[in-house]
């Protein structure tokens, strides 16, 4: 074995990294800048080089030679013949289209400059893009042929749409148009929490903030930070607010998450309560810092109407918009995000996996990935809890098995998910953890209602009034309630720091995203280890869905112990 060279680069653009090589950590730190982590089991981690990962690298200032030098430095064998060509050719696409301010337009128009005449002709002939462009007449001395290339005018409101359509064509835009300052906001992080105890940024939080800010250079001030659940993404958001110092809109998944953001701001910053507004179904107050839900922004009276609350984006002079759980960004919000590209924007997420495949839209409209850190890294350093994952295969009763065997294919998932034998399995698992705070999570309300009665535990669903929901969460946080039963509302940003056991009765088909979010509910750092149990009906379609659901966590280095329930 060639110690100090842990990398094996393959012709299909995958990179295998030997965990046991002494140079593993140093090599991984470099690879993460230009390759996407796909799998991180115990011996070999798999990365993949792709257009988005290379354009992410280019947007962060890496040159093709930097990428190739890194691959050569760590590679155990000679690089595949075409790898260097692919890296150079792909990265060369970034920067051939540059978007900048158009002088004299009063900020209403931007200039898209194309350095390649053939590419300009391709763009001009592509209707999906050309409809948003107008050939530019440049002032004397800036005409085409004098280093400017072919130029097009882009309306400010079409900035995001043009970037998205060009990326879909395979041409990422270097966006150097200025960002608006927004109304000023003074916000400082406190050295002592108001709730008690010292407070400071962890090193990876400081690094992620620096990557997002980018030294104020053109092309910085927008993008996505990827950190595991429980690693303090909210704190990174507050640090960005402090660094930018401008009126901020925060959009998150539900009212519980809205109130958590507000509590964190009041606990860890010097922001007064009257400077924070809540914009939800129950309150619509706009303040220097406003926290809203995706649900209220995407509400409309009927399918033919526009989205009335989109005006929240347009009418206020925001200097920063934070998209919490950006992997859940609803499709309608992409439309308004495309219009407001002049505002600094920060996406926060534990995973960029989107089940709808719109990762490219996140790249073009929110911004490139600026920072990522492996989940297991933070676990080893004690920043998130150590978790043990178990998949338990539950046999079906003869009655359930008969119903399943004669059911239509589309009905089988629910029948398998609602396997009645799961009730006893959950009851025994809860009994096995008498000193833990336990969340039982599921998809189907009838099943959860019955489970709640069996366990004599409170039930939280989407229909639970917000006041009652928050009362139950608070009782759980304080340890007065040891077990709660929760529907898919538990998938989203809920701060339950002492929860150490999650039992998943059923899930949304094969959603990797959901599996990651549910495990994340028990990853807050604590004195005890965490346990994640996923119950799967044996010899049913649930086994197939479970295999896909496991995939993302296996890629993060988590191993499932698969057991048969007797």
Same domain as 270, residue 152: no
Q: Last residue of a domain, which of 315, 340, 373?
A: 373
What the block records as the tokens of 80 is: 């595949």
Q: How many domains does the chain have?
A: 4
Q: Which of 323, 346, 373 is the last residue of a domain?
A: 373
Helix (H) / strand (E) containing 331 = helix 331-339
Average pLDDT over residues 4-25: 93
Model confidence pLDDT, tens digit, residues 209-232: 998 998 766 667 899 998 888 889
Residue 118, judged by CB atoms within 10 A of its CB (0-12, 13-18, 19+), counts as exposed
If asked whether residues 221 and 327 sit together in one domain, one would say yes
- Residue 61's pLDDT is 83
Residue 195 lies in a domain: no
Same domain as 410, residue 313: no
Residue 189 lies in a domain: no
Instruction: Verify that 227 and 248 share a domain, yes or no.
Output: yes
83 and 16 in a single domain? The answer is yes
Q: Which residues span the domain enclosing 423?
A: 380-564
Q: Phi then psi for 375, rounded to 5 degrees?
A: -55, -45
198: in domain: no
Task: Classify each residue of 17-35 as buried b or exposed e, where b means 16 or more C-beta atoms within 10 Å of its C-beta.
Answer: bbbebebbeebbebbbbbb
Residue 348 φ/ψ, nearest 5 degrees: -120, 135
Q: For residue 480, is pLDDT > 70?
A: yes
Same domain for 11 and 138, yes or no, is no
Residues 405, 513, single domain; the answer is yes
In a domain, 212, yes or no: yes
Mean pLDDT of 145-171: 82
On whether both 410 and 501 belong to a single domain, the answer is yes
User: For residue 396, what is the DSSP state?
Assistant: P
Give domain status of residue 187, yes or no: no
State pLDDT tens for residues 296-352.
988 888 888 888 898 889 889 999 999 998 887 887 888 788 888 889 999 998 877
| pLDDT tens digits, 392-408 | 999 999 988 999 999 99
Classify residue 389: in a domain, yes or no.
Answer: yes
User: What's the CATH code of the domain at 446?
Assistant: 3.40.50.300
Q: Which of 373, 408, 426 is the last residue of a domain?
A: 373
> Is residue 257 domain-shared with residue 396, that is, in the same domain?
no
Residues 178 and 102: beta-carbon distance below 8 Å: no
Residue 485 pLDDT: 95
Q: Do the domain assignments include residue 197?
A: no
* Assigned domain for 444 exists: yes
């Amino acid at each position: 074995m060639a110690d100090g060279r842990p990398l094996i680069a393959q012709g299909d653009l995958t990179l295998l990294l030997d965990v046991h090589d002494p140079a593993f950590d140093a090599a991984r730190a470099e690879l993460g800048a230009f390759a996407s982590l796909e799998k991180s089991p115990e011996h070999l981690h798999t990365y993949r080089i792709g257009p988005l990962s290379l354009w992410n690298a280019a947007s962060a200032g890496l040159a093709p030679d930097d990428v190739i030098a890194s691959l050569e430095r760590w590679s155990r064998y000679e690089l595949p013949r075409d790898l260097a060509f692919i890296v150079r050719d792909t990265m060369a696409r970034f920067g051939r289209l540059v978007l900048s301010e158009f002088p004299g337009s009063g900020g209403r128009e931007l200039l898209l400059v194309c350095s390649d005449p053939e590419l300009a002709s391709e763009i001009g002939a592509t209707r999906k893009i050309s409809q948003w462009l107008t050939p530019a007449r440049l002032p004397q001395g800036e005409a085409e042929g004098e280093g400017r290339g072919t130029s097009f005018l882009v309306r400010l409101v079409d900035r995001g749409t043009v970037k998205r359509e060009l990326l879909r064509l395979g041409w990422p835009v270097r966006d150097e148009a200025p960002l608006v300052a927004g109304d000023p906001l003074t916000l400082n992080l406190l050295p002592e929490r108001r709730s008690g105890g010292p407070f400071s940024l962890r090193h990876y939080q400081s690094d992620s903030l620096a990557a997002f800010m980018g030294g104020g250079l053109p092309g910085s001030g927008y993008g996505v930070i990827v950190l595991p659940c429980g690693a303090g993404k909210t704190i990174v958001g507050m640090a960005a607010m402090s660094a930018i110092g401008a009126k901020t809109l925060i959009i998150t998944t539900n009212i519980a998450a809205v109130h958590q953001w507000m509590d964190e701001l009041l606990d860890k910053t010097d922001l007064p309560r009257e400077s924070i507004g809540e914009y939800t179904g129950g309150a619509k107050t706009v303040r220097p810092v406003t926290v809203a839900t995706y649900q209220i922004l995407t509400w409309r009276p009927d399918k033919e109407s526009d989205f009335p609350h989109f005006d929240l984006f347009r009418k206020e002079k925001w200097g920063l918009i934070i998209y919490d759980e950006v992997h859940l960004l609803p499709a309608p919000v992409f439309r308004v995000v495309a219009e407001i590209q002049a505002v600094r924007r920060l996406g926060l997420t534990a995973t960029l996996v989107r089940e709808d495949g719109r990762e490219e839209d996140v790249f073009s409209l929110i911004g490139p990935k600026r920072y990522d850190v492996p989940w297991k890294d933070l676990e080893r350093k004690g920043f998130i809890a150590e978790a043990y994952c178990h998949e338990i295969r539950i046999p079906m009763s003869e009655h359930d098995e008969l119903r399943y065997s004669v059911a239509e294919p589309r009905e089988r998932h629910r029948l398998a998910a609602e396997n009645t034998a799961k009730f006893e399995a959950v009851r025994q698992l809860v009994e096995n953890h008498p000193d833990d705070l336990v969340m039982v999570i599921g998809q189907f309300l009838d099943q959860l209602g019955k489970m709640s009665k069996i366990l004599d535990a409170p039930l939280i669903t989407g229909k639970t009034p917000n006041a009652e929901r928050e009362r139950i969460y608070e009782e759980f946080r304080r340890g007065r309630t040891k077990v709660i039963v929760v529907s898919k509302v538990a998938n989203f940003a809920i701060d339950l720091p002492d929860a150490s056991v999650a039992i998943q009765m059923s899930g949304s088909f094969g959603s990797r995203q959901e599996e990651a979010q549910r495990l994340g509910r028990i990853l807050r750092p604590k004195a005890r280890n965490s346990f994640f149990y996923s119950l799967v009906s044996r010899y049913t379609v649930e086994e197939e869905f479970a295999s896909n659901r496991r995939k993302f966590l296996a890629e993060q280095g988590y191993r499932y112990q698969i057991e048969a329930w007797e």
